[in-house]
Amino acid sequence: MDRSLLPDIFGLTVFIVGFRPLARRVGPHANLWFLGWGFVLVHHLALLFDGAGPTGHTPLNLVAAWALDLCALTFVLVTANVPKRRIDLLLLTELSVPVLLQTGLYVWEIHKTAVTVAACLLFLAPAIHLQLRPRDRNRPMIVVTTAFAVFGLAMIWVALRYPHLVVLCTLALLFFSAAYLYSVLAKEHTRSSIVATVGLALWGLSYPAEALFQHFYPGAVLDRALMELPQYLVIAGIMLTLLEDHVKRTERMAMHDPLTDLPNRRLFEERLIATMEEARINRTTVACLVIDVDNFKTINDTLGHSAGDQLLRALAVRLSWHMSPRDILARTGGDEFTALLAGVNDEHHLRFIASAMMSAGSVPISIDGKSVDLHISIGIALSPDHADDIDSLRRAADQAMYSAKRRGGSMLAFADED
């Protein structure tokens, strides 16, 4: 039993157990990171109880080696799985089989030429897969699969003479691939993502570097803590990334309506304050539009709350069509939306936008196969024409909306109209 592994095992266990709840909050993709670290834990446990050590050829040593392969493959999977891009399960299998096969051949000391060459040629399968299935293609995966294809051809001669070197280079290529995918496909490049990328690359580099060191200095012993430093970098980078994602997710939930994903009243008021202050400085006009669904209670009572939710989501999308990047549309009540239009040129321009919203909001919506008539009323107030402070502007737009409803609804009204 190698007791020197106990601190690593304890640290990994605390890390996985302690931060697992955070992964659940961030999202399903975070679970894959912890699955990868779970394989690292299995790797250390197998070596702990393997009397032959890391260079022996025993079943536990095979478990240790395969666990490390699976860790690297999991990291490739999690870095490749980003919005709008998903690594195909068959493609991942085609990548995993030659990796695990090379390791198994080495551990069980199988040196048959035909089997070794076939195992190397299997690295070409992912590249061939992408050629045959264009829908699975994307530039990052083309780069990765091409790298493995070239690697497989280059390693045929090496595998026949130095099988251990092929196993180490395969691990290196897997971690390099994860680093590349993480760098290219990251939603944004923060310090935490850069730390994780560098850690993955150094982790991959550590395997051939250790082999070269042992070759030129066979009697020397590498500092184990130094060799494991890249793993700590990956842990630090991933944890900081997960914490950043969690904070952003929490902030978004606090500022956005969960049903429509539009800004809520709190975010709208913050933007309104900033926009009105800017308008005072630049002497420009700001328009506030209060939009309300006519007879929404009747729709809810007749068709149910689920239908009402679908109607509000559809209306939110339709109204968003007519908003510029500077404008903001928020859900500020049950069936009430409020729009802020900055830099309105004149009343004709504003009437054109409001009329377009009215037209989009008056087209029937299909809910569960039924056509539901939809009508909205819009109240409009301008700053500084109708009000010069936030509360007065909102109140003026709200009163204009109720004035439109009193006149029969399905119309727009300005604050200064009788």
Q: Where are the chain's structural domains?
A: 3-253, 265-414
CA 20 – CA 409 distance, rounded (Å): 52
pLDDT of residue 82: 62
- State how far the Cα of 286 lies from the Cα of 208, in Å rounded to an integer: 63
Closest CA to 397 of 336, 328, 335: 336
CB 36 within 8 A of CB 71: yes
- Residue range 253-271: average pLDDT? 90
Q: What confidence tens digit (pLDDT) does each residue in 275-295 have? A: 888 888 888 888 999 999 998
Which pLDDT band, with edges at 50, 70 and 90, does 221 fall under?
confident
Quote the strand ranges of 317-363, DSSP E. 328-331, 336-342
Whether residue 323 is predicted with pLDDT greater than 90 in this model: the reply is no
pLDDT at 85: 55
Instruction: Name the fold adopted by 265-414.
Output: Alpha-Beta Plaits (3.30.70)
**DSSP line for 125-136:** HHHHHHHH-GGG
CB 68 within 8 A of CB 171: yes
**pLDDT value of residue 418:** 58
Model confidence pLDDT, tens digit, residues 343-357: 776 778 888 888 899
Please report the pLDDT score of residue 95 as a whole number: 93
Mean pLDDT of 89-118: 90
pLDDT > 80? residue 27 = no
Structure confidence by residue, pLDDT tens digits, 366-408: 887 888 888 999 999 988 888 888 888 889 999 999 999 988 8
- 32 SS3 class: helix
Query: 98: burial class by Cβ within 10 Å (0-12, 13-18, 19+)?
Result: buried
| CA neighbor of 293 nearest in space, from 333, 329, 320, 261 | 333
pLDDT at position 111, please? 83
Per-residue pLDDT tens digits for 57-85? 678 889 999 999 999 999 999 888 765 55
| pLDDT tens per residue across span 148-184 | 999 999 999 988 888 889 999 999 999 999 999 999 9
Per-residue pLDDT at 51: 54
Could you give the CA distance from residue 176 to residue 74 in angstroms, rounded to a whole number? 13
Give residue 233's identity as a one-letter amino acid code: L
- pLDDT, tens digit, 9 for 90 and up, residues 324-344: 888 899 999 889 999 999 877
Q: What is the pLDDT of residue 56?
A: 53
Token pair 């496909």: residue: 185
